[in-house]
Structure 1
Amino acid sequence: MAKHDTSGLASLSPFELKDELIKLAGSVSNRLMLNAGRGNPNFLATIPRHGFWQLGQFAMIESERSFSYLPEGVGGFPRRAGIEERFDLYARVHKDVPGVKFLTGAVSYVRDQLGLDGGDFLYEMCEGILACNYPVPDRMLRLSEKIVKQYIRKEMIGAHPFLGDFDLYAVEGGTAAMTYLFNSLKVNHLINPGDTIALGMPIFTPYIEIPELAEYHLTEVSIDADPASGWQYPKKELDKLRDPKVKAFFLVNPSNPPSVKMSDESLKYIASIVEERPDLILLTDDVYGTFADNFVSLFAMCPKNTLLVYSYSKYFGATGWRLGVIATHKSNLFDEQLANLPR
């Protein structure tokens, strides 16, 4: 392998360095390159995919049915009246088609276990998959939020005691969530240029780079995990959060790249610090939480201080669909801080 000039690599950002390494690897003949730079799973969940395509088929029939008097190639919005009965007929006719059983199970779950209206659910799903209307409400579709909320409760909170309710905000994956949160915290004056934020290290590269951008210009403090202790945060590192200059603590849990969930001891220790520092903002990216057994999010421990980011990308092998949510408790620190801002 020929020697390459590496003198300029130190000045590159981690993402730029990754591109240079890929370019370098591609220049070597008779070698297979493994790109471990992105957390893209090599699997996908097939059952919901089959359900997705069958939902699309049903929605198209609904669209063409509503405007049956128009020329071929023009459809209308699905109609709410009678949609559940028409779906039941569709499901019976196509009962052996992959995905139909999944759909009937989904409708049954929404109607019989969550107590929501099955027809309203089908109408919302048909409008959504046809993309024929602006999302209303624009924060997140009404029934979709209630359904995803049950999932978040199960996977991020579990059996941990949790008082009150929370809101969800649908976003285009975890990366979009980060971008929106940083920007929203800035424009709402909850963090300002020159403020200090703590980062749980090691961490996903954009968390390091975004705060350093000129529009944020934040000072970073590292909360370093100890590889000798299984990549857990020592108490002396977490004690840095007691400093009132630290406005926020951003972390990935389970960690990226070490892929280790935070211990119960550390979660409780952070919660004790928050009792001492009720003004501390917590942002936890729990995208990998569904891979860990008995996972409990920091959102469950400190709900009023925490912004929770979750994405379906990794667990369902759906990185290209950009499906994510941000969760905030209905009674939260951020609303309190906004209310205390000067007029």
Structure 2
Amino acid sequence: MSEQNFNSLANLSPFELKDKLIAAASSDTERLMLNAGRGNPNFLATLPRRAFLTLGEFAIRESERSYSFLDSGFGGLPERDGIVQRFEAFAAHQDHGEGVTFLRSTISYVKDRLGLDRDAFLYEMVGAFLGCTYPTPPRMLSHTEEIVKAYLIQEMFGPLKSDGEFSIFATEGGTAAMTYIFQSLAVNALIQPGDKIAMATPIFSPYLEIPVLAEYGLDIVDIRMDRTADWQLPDEEIAKLLDPAIKVFCLVNPSNPPSSKLSDAVLDKLAELVSAQRPDLIIVTDDVYGTFADDFVSLFAKCPRNTLCVYSFSKFFGATGWRLGAIALHHENIIDELIAAQTETEKSATDARYVTLTSEPRKLAFIDRLVADSRAVALNHTAGLSGPQQLQMALFALNALMDRLDRYKDAAKQLIRRRYQTLYRNIGVTADYQPNDVNYYSLIDLQEISKELYGAQFQAWFIEQDIGTAFLFRLAEETGVVLLPGKGFEVVDTSARVSLANLTGFQYEAIGKATRRVIDEYYESFTATQR
């Protein structure tokens, strides 16, 4: 592909460019393509899936009790009374496998640790599996909400105390959560065309692409992380948030693609700024990678009044295909306060929007407006995540809550961190581990690696050539390796994003060697110009 053609691809989303890189990498049918561009993990949690299947068998038997006389594959709605006793009888006749043991433990756990009624819990789970009734409430099943709430407190709050006074909206993955948040902020006049929205960059590219769409028309302000300080936010960048024209601040923490969590010091500075000088600032924190970090604390815990938390079960539990996400918002929050303080004209507009839901639309909480807006309001009664999805979400959350020794979590973290070391060892450079590193992704800084391998003159030449996209296509065409451009995530240096979650250790060794091979070829071109 010519340089001119490379330039024509500069504005593509990295996830759209990925398809063209895959095509280039697939040109040699005799060679294995290694796609490390997208972060779909190749590991997953098996125990909560076993439990799902086991509960399914029990749920079918419960359904068949109602119409067994028809003898025609006909079932009915389960009955709540005595359901735990019937499950114990069912479990006694099973092979005592992991699924049965897990489910028996959950029934004990939700009563002892969460104060839930065992029969009500199991009845909800059985009905969720069967999917035989509309999920009620639409926002989230009540017992599932309490379970996921406990999970988020465990994973997002660290040592900080939570009063638990927040609500959750179960969504079709984290991407649906993002969509719903922007939609509801806009229709409730909390963001309007021409407003400023701040982004902690580098960041997951859709956060850069959504605000500039015609329906939002927002002006993005970069709050840029410092690569030389392990991708933390410098004081001068945090200070940009003092601008009252900035209505919303979005961040992914731990970051994507640098894959570093914000330090306690940075979180404290953000919390102090918001508390003392920007109490009106709306914060959206996407914490999908928080469970891979050591001692993680979310801004949702540090700034509870101002923060919407987006979480997805997709990465940690290997569940991208399940589409399981959540939006969490504290009951006392700035968004509802801003809505209450709007002009009469603005309130009248939203009155008309939500009047079919309640006789007092002005009292409708923002979290419930999210639910309604997700189904264009008119279909609010059929909003929300399906029952089977919510069941699997609850089982994932319970798996983490009951894993007292963090065996699954430690195994997942060790797996991706070993791959990180393997990758850089085979490029030929040292990969130092920093306390805030997560390593789900890594940004291969081609400029810095060029300097480390062959000196400052080669680095200067490498930068001058502006070969970021060309490098990726050359890597794909010559070696079959697919990486994504750092530029698409608002990274300044010429770099490539590699996922450390979706291939084997042996394959990351091959990616490291392939990357080094292409760098060496560019160095040969450089030395030819010096003769």
What range describes the TM-score normalised by the shorter chain of this pair? over 0.9
- CA apart distance, 1:3: 6.0
Residue 289 of structure 1: aligned partner: 290
Q: 1: distance between equivalents of 2:164 and 2:292?
A: 26
8 Å CA contact retained: 2:153, 2:162: no
Given that 1:305 and 1:332 are in contact with CA atoms closer than 8 Å, whether structure 2 keeps it comes out as yes
Q: 1:261 to 1:190 in 2, by over 3 A?
A: same
Decide which structure has the larger Cα Rg and report it: 2
SS of corresponding position for 2:98: coil
User: What is the CA distance between 1:37 and its match in structure 2?
Assistant: 2.3
Deviations 1:189-210 (A, max 9, x none): 1111111000111111111111
Task: Give the C-alpha shift of residue 164 in structure 1.
Answer: 5.9
Distance 1:82 1:163 in 2: 33
Contact 2:233 2:266 in 1 (8 A): yes
Post-superposition shift, 1:89? 0.7
List aligned pairs for 1:238-253, cutoff 5 A.
238-253=238-253
CA contact (8 A) 1:60 1:130 kept: yes
The letter for the 1-side match of 2:66 is S
Structure 1 window deviating more from structure 2 (267-276 vs 154-163): it is: 154-163
Of residues 83-92 and 161-170 in structure 1, the stretch that sits farther from structure 2 once superposed is: 161-170
Deviation at 1:242, TM superposition (A): 0.8
**Cα RMSD between the aligned structures?**
1.4
In 1, distance between residues paired with 2:66 and 2:229?
62
TM-score by length of 1: 0.96
1:302 corresponds to: 303
Superposed, 1:67-146 pairs within 5 Å as: 67-146=67-146
Q: Give the equivalent residue in structure 1 for 2:219.
A: 219
**Residue equivalent to 1:272:** 272
The aligned amino acid for 2:68 is S
- Structure 1 spans left out of the alignment, 5+ residues: none
Amino acid at match of 1:149: K
- Counterpart in 1 of 2:178? 178
Q: Distance in 2 between matches of 1:34 and 1:242?
A: 44
Other structure's SS at 1:328 match: strand
CA contact (8 A) 2:153 2:164 kept: no
Distance in 1 separating the partners of 2:150 and 2:108: 15
After TM superposition, give the deviation of residue 156 of structure 1 in Å: 0.4
Structure 1 residue 98 displacement after superposition = 3.2
1:49-100 Cα deviation digits (max 9, x unpaired)? 1101000000000011122122422211111111111001111111523310
Corresponding position of 2:336: 335
What secondary structure sits across from 1:66 in the alignment? coil
In the alignment, which residue of structure 1 is the partner of 2:312?
311
Question: Take 1:281 and 1:73, find their aligned partners in 2: how far apart are those partners?
Answer: 52
What is the CA distance between 1:324 and its match in structure 2? 1.2
Identify which range, 8-17 or 75-84, moves more after superposition: 8-17
Q: Which region of structure 1 is more displaced relative to structure 2, 304-313 or 2-11?
A: 2-11
Matched, 1:24 2:24: yes
The residue type paired with residue 278 of structure 1 is P
Deviations 1:209-259 (A, max 9, x none): 111111111100111111111111111111111111111110000001111
Q: Give the corresponding residue for 1:156.
A: 156
Contact preservation (8 Å) 1:78, 1:126: yes
CA 219–18 in structure 1, closer or farther in 2 if over 3 Å, else same: same
Partner Cα distance (1:140, 1:283) in 2: 20
Are 1:177 and 1:309, in contact at CA under 8 Å, matched by a contact in 2? yes
Q: Is the 8 A contact 1:164 1:330 kept in 2?
A: no
Point out where structure 2 has 5 or more consecutive residues left out of the alignment: 345-531
Contact 1:255 1:261 in 2 (8 A): yes
> Larger relative contact order (C-alpha < 8 A, sep ≥ 6)?
2
* Structure 2 counterpart of 1:298, one-letter code: L
Partner SS state of residue 211, structure 2: helix
Q: Please identify which structure carries the higher helix content.
A: 2
Equivalent AA in structure 2 for residue 289 of structure 1: G
